[in-house]
Structure 1
Amino acid sequence: MDSEIKMRKAETEDRDIIWNILQQAIERRRKDGSMQWQEGYPNLNTVEKDIENGFGYVMTVNGEIAVYAALILNDEPAYDNIDGAWLSNGEFVVVHRVAVDEKFAGQGMVKKLFDHIEDFTRSHGIRSVKVDTNFDNIAMLKILESKSYTYCGEVFLAGGMRKAFEKIII
């Protein structure tokens, strides 16, 4: 039987589950030798602010939270200064803080998440999705490549240079 996969806004009662998933991801990055997320960000306060601001989204598998991501519309000041060039200057969805529960790791969940994010973007009539990641986050770089995101240059974010990508959706 196929699993039912849905994306929805995160709610206050999801907070502890989301924070647990993020902590797993922080530890996974550390074990992979990545510098990403090793300086006390993201933290529980980040999660609370995401939920409060309506940025937090979860992807559920049969009702169980499998993936967390923050989706922010048109607002990432760091993206104003790109060493390179974006594909578009219109409205965009920014994807931040993607984290997968260990239980669901290795099941292509982030690819499915990006499908949902692209549907979300399209349904809101928004032109593109922009995302950045650490140069040493190999897993995410591979996913972005597989989902046909275009490398646009580098942005300075959270104390470091990040590779920035964009995909035109509509």
Structure 2
Amino acid sequence: MTLQFRIADHGDFDGIWAVLMDGKAALGHLGIDQWQGAYPTQQIVRDDIEAGHSYVLEEDGEVVATTVIGFTGEPVYDSIEGAWLTTSDSRDPRYAVLHRVAVAQGHGGKGLGRNLLQSAEPVARQHGCESLRIETHPGNIPMLKLIERCGFSRCGIVHISHAEGASTDRVAFEKLL
């Protein structure tokens, strides 16, 4: 098994979309209301690729996991019920944000999620970030456990604006780099 973490290009769209739809289905099977509406949309995925923020993890040439690494700040992170490890905010972010983390169906249990999150760390460092931030639905127990196993600290609760009828609460984490 040969794994490669890299920035996505337009040719990766179908693979990324398939992985995200697998993630959406997995959340639904777990009874989690996150991603059960239109989000994420194909346009969001295309925009992520175009902006150079979309990354893939390939196994023997097949996209098996994906994430977005953002460097422009996340305004909803400016209001947290709790406290971040760093004082950076969205006006002058010194953190990278991980969004839309997903692993393809049939590829769970191989450590791909851990590989994906750990692979984001050097990318964030190269962009001058002092930390990584991520949030997830409080009912997404597999993701909560993965984030904590990867060394992130639970910092509090943030409220997202694009929940589409789902709970707006997200458990927020940060990891110093």
How much has 1:163 moved relative to structure 2? 0.4
The corresponding residue for 2:175 is 167
Cross-structure match for 1:97? 100
Task: Give the Cα separation in 1 of the matches to 2:156 and 2:57.
Answer: 29
Could you tell me how far 1:87 is from its partner in structure 2?
0.4
CA–CA distance in structure 1, aligned partners of residues 141 and 173 of structure 2 = 14
* Residue identity in the other structure for 1:162: R
Q: Is 1:142 aligned to residue 140 of structure 2?
A: no
1:21–1:101: 8 Å Cα contact kept in structure 2?
yes
In 1, the alpha carbon distance for the partners of 2:60 and 2:170 equals 34
Paired position in structure 1 for 2:39: 41
Runs (4 or more) in structure 1 with deviation over 6 Å come to none
* SS of aligned partner of 1:103: coil
User: Alignment RMSD, CA only?
Assistant: 1.3
Once the two structures are superposed, what CA deviation does each residue of 1:44-95 show, in whole Å capped at 9, x if it has no partner? 1111111111111101122221101010014211111111111002411100
Give the SS at the match of 2:106: helix
Secondary structure, counterpart of 1:102 in structure 2:
coil
User: Which residue number corresponds to residue 58 of structure 1?
Assistant: 56
CA contact (8 A) 1:133 1:140 kept: yes
Q: CA deviation at 1:23?
A: 0.8
Letter in structure 2 aligned against 1:105: G
Structure 1, unpaired ranges of 5+: none
2:133 alignment counterpart: 130
Q: What residue number does 2:155 align with?
A: 152
Paired residues of 1:19 and 1:43 also in contact (CA < 8 A): no
d(CA) in 1 for partners of 2:123, 2:14: 25
Aligned equivalents of 2:150, 2:51: Cα separation in 1? 28
- Give me the TM-score of the superposition, normalised by structure 2: 0.89
Q: For residues 156 and 56 of structure 1, what CA distance do their matches in structure 2 show?
A: 23
